[in-house]
Amino acid sequence: MRLLFLVTQVGLCMISALAVGGLLGYGLDRLFGTLPVLTIVGLFLGVAAGFRSVWLLLSKYTKEPEEAEAPKADAKLLAAEEEFRRWKQERGVKEDRRD
């Protein structure tokens, strides 16, 4: 399901950027009377903006988790487990394994 969402979002990014660039270029062409020139420029800028947004989107989804965060979480978990073991020993609680 996540892959379908990603593929849909990539397509929408490209189409919307291309449409916005083309429409802005066409509007400026009509305004200045240079019909094919600014439309083509707008389309090229739309393609570039679409590729940029797809690049940012894919880099967000393929980003590796920071390696520095994992050891901190593991160290905190190990410290909490050790504290819990000491707490149980102080109170004389027997091991309760329900695995």
Give this prediction's pTM: 0.61
How high does pLDDT run on average in the chain?
86
Quick one: average pLDDT of 15-38? Answer: 95
55 and 8 in a single domain? The answer is yes
More confident residue, 80 or 97: 80
Same domain, yes or no, for 50 and 84?
no
32 and 9 together in one domain: yes
User: Would you say residue 99 lies in a domain?
Assistant: no
Domain residues for the domain of 77 are 67-94
Distance, CA of 37 to CA of 98 (rounded, Å): 74
**What is the share, in percent, of the chain residues with pLDDT greater than 70?**
85
Q: Quick check: helix, strand or coil at residue 58? A: helix
pLDDT tier at 68, thresholds 50, 70, 90: very low
Of 14-18, 20-24, 61-65, minimum mean pLDDT range: 61-65
Residue 71 falls within a domain, yes or no?
A: yes
Q: Is pLDDT at 77 greater than 80 in this prediction?
A: yes
Give the integer Cα–Cα distance in Å for 67 and 80. 21
17 occurs within a structural domain: yes
